[in-house]
Structure 1
């Protein structure tokens, strides 16, 4: 009866837009040619997400332009698809040139999903920008929208031989889980239409309406949980036998987004279905996606992620359906231990003659500042580097596969441009924020522009209580959609209004437990006043090696979240 009542509810508006879109074409070409406005119509604003970009406007200028009776200062944010975050130095130079020529920010920003994005793209420049990416061997298809998005894979330089076996799975997952529509090639790359009648075109995996909501996949290599694997809809956790890949533990049902004040929405960490051998992984991935396609909620987009499908249908039922569709039987999950999450800065030895240099890039924003010419420094390195660049899911950058003979030259360039040699606190190196204001239309408060100052306050508390050596994962987002994964942070701030945040505490340091709200809609002063005595108690009562997030749970200061559906809001 409940399923029948659910099926009779009206579909979410986006479902109709997708149905009428002719496999993601919509009227994008018409909107692109319309020079009267800098925007697309409402339906096409949803369709362009599948092509990798969002419509935005500069909210710092919104009131002034409204007073002048001008439309908002529209521009676009485009996110690239870079599986595992790996690109060549030649690609880096090309994407940097594109930023300088075709964006108002003249920069790129590394994201929390191990790729890069452009901000400030005028509508007239979108096509040229996408064609520039194509010439560099990159694209933005499925970087956003109701499809599988950029697949993450932690760089893990300390286990380079295993990474060489695992990373190709991130690439294969990204490629095989792409939508098959030719819309991207037709609209942006001027490719000839394959189907004279677009009704003949089919999406064998996604169908005509794609997924009910966005879908995120990550591949993790223990013991490092750099990619926050349990926050993803689908996770593949590499299991090694010696230095060889034996297979994967498969996790499902993670996701960070929620809605303020709506107890029916909540962040959730994934459940592990079991172990599969490598040759079974792709069949399992497709089975998970098609089950979500058919079982997911298409009536309420706030309840449309896979995490809610599993909560509503039951994990055992979901697992059985995935096994049936994939034609596999999950084995018992193999033991897994995660002992770290953030990036390891500086030089690390790889296999053979290779070295890796990880650089801290605050908020991932690649710009030249008077005291830190970051963009110029990375260009100088890219012109001589023979290895690859690896973007991390913490918005930093690894100069990877540097031969011993070139290590000194790369380090000299990094030092010359201020990219290497400056110390940062353990906490600052573990922390991140989403973009938020002024460009994100969902932002309720600052995040990227606020994070550096807030971290300075947290560092001062740590220093005062003599716990500065202990890294604390701090994350800030301007809204509860959770792009910087704040609900998996030991200290999480989520924007509620200008200058006001909800404070969340108690996630595990390695990303295996969610946090819980302890303050709502508070100022920085109130948040720091709450943290101060907790930090003092932590300094006095912590066990050897105990992380801050674990301590606040053990001490009883925060109730643990075991079951997100009941504990997160309870």
Structure 2
């Protein structure tokens, strides 16, 4: 960018990116500093592009402050897994890294990525080197670039699953930053001479995107990547086992800020249809438009959703057609049935077996007799399946031969992990990490939602709704990491023990929910939810999902214009 830029007009992060020398910053000096467990302030922004967030233990924050100790700093490392699929050897390597350098657990994220928590500064480099040995990386897992590309891991109803996965990988590769900084800093590769923006980052340039960018692929009838919450979504159009192309949706995004009416969740608009051979080209051109048009002054309004609302959907489509040099075709018909996962054994059209496992909160760990981590480690050691991270924090063991099913069942039984009956609401739950490590969280989520569901299930049992599937999500703040604003029931943390209570998303992930009660505690949540569940059990129509019911009965109004969303 020009030296004549008035940096005071732009968000602070824009200057940090520009001065980072293509994401190098002063990271090497920060890592070498023995005085503190933290890294320099500007490097905390730069490190995100390398898949790293600095955090601290908020549970002991007050105690350490009293004794004049610095916060108990550690780091989150996010590992990109385009399409969410790894092989058994990679799973074993991820498992080993979690024990050697992190807190002994693996977090499966809603972006189909791995997260390690509790990594100390001195262990960042050996951790990333170990990840690289597993043929995975952390570059662009965070930061103002295209992040991990999602793709539906459910192949049950489709013959084009592998083809869609391959295309997701191609899009991911094409949009990965080209700077050698990642390899110099973490993998000890030789530094290269500085070049022009066109040489170093031919797509992104020296300041990258105005904000993060998310891409997902889904294969109907599943919407398990919540395609309309992505900046760019590809909806596979299949005809008699042939992938014809994709409908593309643009402008989705979940993040909001309490009290700021200029921020709101938004669902993507379907612009039209593209052929398979144009997939990567379309992804590139949408990213370029956001790079050129996105708001670099107000970071809270920098996502593609705000760009599209500012210039209009039709104008954006016209600009995209112009940049492509050809026009999008009319949208083709498709049908979505759910945005949750299927559990238990399923046989796909490829003749192989797939086992869906519920992983509460996406946290892979051993607890008491239920030893999820040990069971998966033992299964991986047999090398008889792949491992598929879902967008709902769960796991699918895939491509299993008939004769190997019994071996897996035996291991799961030994570790008390055989698929069992859980409530329909628990099976469709998502919780972000929140406290104790996320610096943005106002309230608990992952550590609290299971116990809240325990109490909700009492009413579900009483009203005969225990098996009914209802999508419930909880986050510790309004940033939307768990995609709460499309859930049928959602709780957004406002303060310790207090949440905004939302209702009315749909089971397919195609409608925003709306604020039902503000700033409620557990007692109020249970008191308010119980009569609604009772009403649903007694007065729903045949096949009516919970989110549709609460809209029909006017517990909340349907959000048509996302700007009407209430915080």
TM category (shorter chain) comes to over 0.9
Q: Which residue of 2 aligns with 1:58?
A: 57
Task: Give the 3-state SS of the residue equivalent to 1:161 in structure 2.
Answer: coil
Partner of 1:249: 247
Which position in structure 1 is the counterpart of 2:566? 569
Alignment CA distance shift 1:339-1:107 (3 Å)? same
**Contact 2:222/2:336 (<8 A) preserved:** yes
Cα deviations across residues 191-247 of structure 1 (Å, max 9, x unaligned)? 112325677843111111101011110000001111100000000000011101000
**Do the aligned partners of 2:197 and 2:205 also contact (CA within 8 Å) in 1?**
no
- Displacement after TM superposition at 1:385 (Å): 2.9
Which residue of the partner structure matches residue 342 of structure 2? 344
Aligned to 2:526: 528
Aligned residue for 2:377, secondary structure, equals: helix
Q: CA deviation at 1:7?
A: 9.4
Structure 2 unaligned spans of 5+: none
Q: 1-side partners of 2:512 and 2:221: how far apart?
A: 19
Report matched runs for 1:216-295 at 5 Å.
216-295=214-293
* 3-state SS of 2:480 partner: coil
User: Residue 30 of structure 1 aligns with which residue?
Assistant: 29
Instruction: Give the conservation status (yes or no) of the 8 Å contact 2:141–2:147.
Output: yes
Q: Which residue of 1 aligns with 2:175?
A: 177
Q: Does structure 2 retain, via aligned residues, the 8 Å contact 1:181–1:201?
A: no
Q: 1:258 to 1:56 in 2, by over 3 A?
A: same
5 Å-filtered alignment, 1:476-515, equals 476-515=474-513
Aligned counterparts, 1:314-333, within 5 A: 314-333=312-331
Cα 1:422/1:382, change in 2 over 3 Å: same
Report if aligned partners of 2:79, 2:115 keep a CA contact under 8 Å in 1.
yes
Q: In structure 2, how many angstroms separate the alpha carbons of the residues matched to 1:373 and 1:241?
A: 42
- Give, in angstroms, the shift of residue 188 of structure 1: 0.4
- Indicate conservation of the 8 Å contact 2:423/2:468, yes or no: no
- Contact kept, 8 Å, 1:157 with 1:349, in 2: the verdict is no
Q: How does 1:93-492 map to 2 (within 5 A)?
A: 93-103=92-102, 105-159=103-157, 161-195=159-193, 201-492=199-490
Aligned counterpart, 2:11: 12
Query: Any conservation in 1 of the 2:384–2:404 contact (CA below 8 Å)?
Result: no
- Kept in 2, the 8 Å contact 1:286–1:326? The answer is no
Deviation readout 1:461-503 (Å, 9 max, x if unpaired): 2222222232110000000001111111000000000000000
Q: Is the 8 A contact 1:355 1:403 kept in 2?
A: yes
Cα distance in 1 for partners of 2:343, 2:446 equals 21
- RMSD over equivalenced CA pairs, Å: 1.5
Distance (whole Å) between structure 2 residues aligned to residue 472 and residue 328 of structure 1: 42
Quote the Cα distance in structure 1 between the aligned partners of 2:6 and 2:425: 48
Deviation at 1:9, TM superposition (A): 7.3
Distance 1:290 1:494 in 2: 33
TM-score by length of 1: 0.97
Three-state SS of the structure 2 residue aligned to 1:553 is helix
Aligned mates of 1:534, 1:256 — CA distance in 2: 26
Residues 439 and 39 from structure 1, CA distance in 2 versus in 1: closer, same or farther, beyond 3 angstroms?
same
**Contact 2:223 2:339 (C-alpha < 8 Å) held by counterparts:** yes
TM-score by length of 2: 0.97
Deviation, 1:282, is 1.1
Q: 1:352 to 1:334 in 2, by over 3 A?
A: closer
CA distance in 2, matches of 1:196, 1:211: 20
Q: In 2 relative to 1, CA 377–8 (structure 1 residues): closer, same or farther, beyond 3 Å?
A: closer
CA distance 1:296–1:438, shift in 2 (3 Å) = same
The answer as to whether partners of 1:474 and 1:492 remain within 8 angstroms in 2 is: yes
The aligned counterpart of 1:3 is none
Task: Check conservation: 2:223, 2:336, Cα contact below 8 A.
Answer: yes
- Kept in 1, the 8 Å contact 2:357–2:419? The answer is no
Shift of 1:359: 0.8
In structure 1, the gaps of 5 or more residues are 1-5
Q: What secondary structure does 2:14 align onto?
A: helix
- Pair 1:79–1:8, CA change in 2 (3 A): closer
Deviations 1:350-378 (A, max 9, x none): 23441011111111111111121111110
Inter-partner Cα distance in structure 2 for 1:391 and 1:200: 35
SS, match of residue 285 in structure 2: helix
Shift in Å, 1:386: 2.5
1:516 is displaced (CA, Å) by: 0.5
2:217/2:236 contact within 8 Å kept: yes
Query: In structure 1, the residue corresponding to 2:446 is in which secondary structure?
Result: coil
Q: Count residues in correspondence.
A: 563
- SS of corresponding position for 1:179: coil
d(CA) in 1 for partners of 2:473, 2:195: 48
Distance 1:43 1:106 in 2: 29
1:387, CA displacement in angstroms?
2.8
Distance 1:243 1:515 in 2: 35
Q: Distance in 2 between matches of 1:291 and 1:164?
A: 29
CA distance in 1, matches of 2:496, 2:134: 40
Write the distance in 1 (CA, Å) between the matches of 2:263 and 2:198: 38
Separation (CA, whole Å) in 2 of partners of 1:397 and 1:501: 28
Give distance in 2, aligned partners of 1:7 and 1:430. 48
Contact 1:385 1:410 in 2 (8 A): no
SS at 2:89's partner residue? helix
Deviation at 1:157, TM superposition (A): 2.5
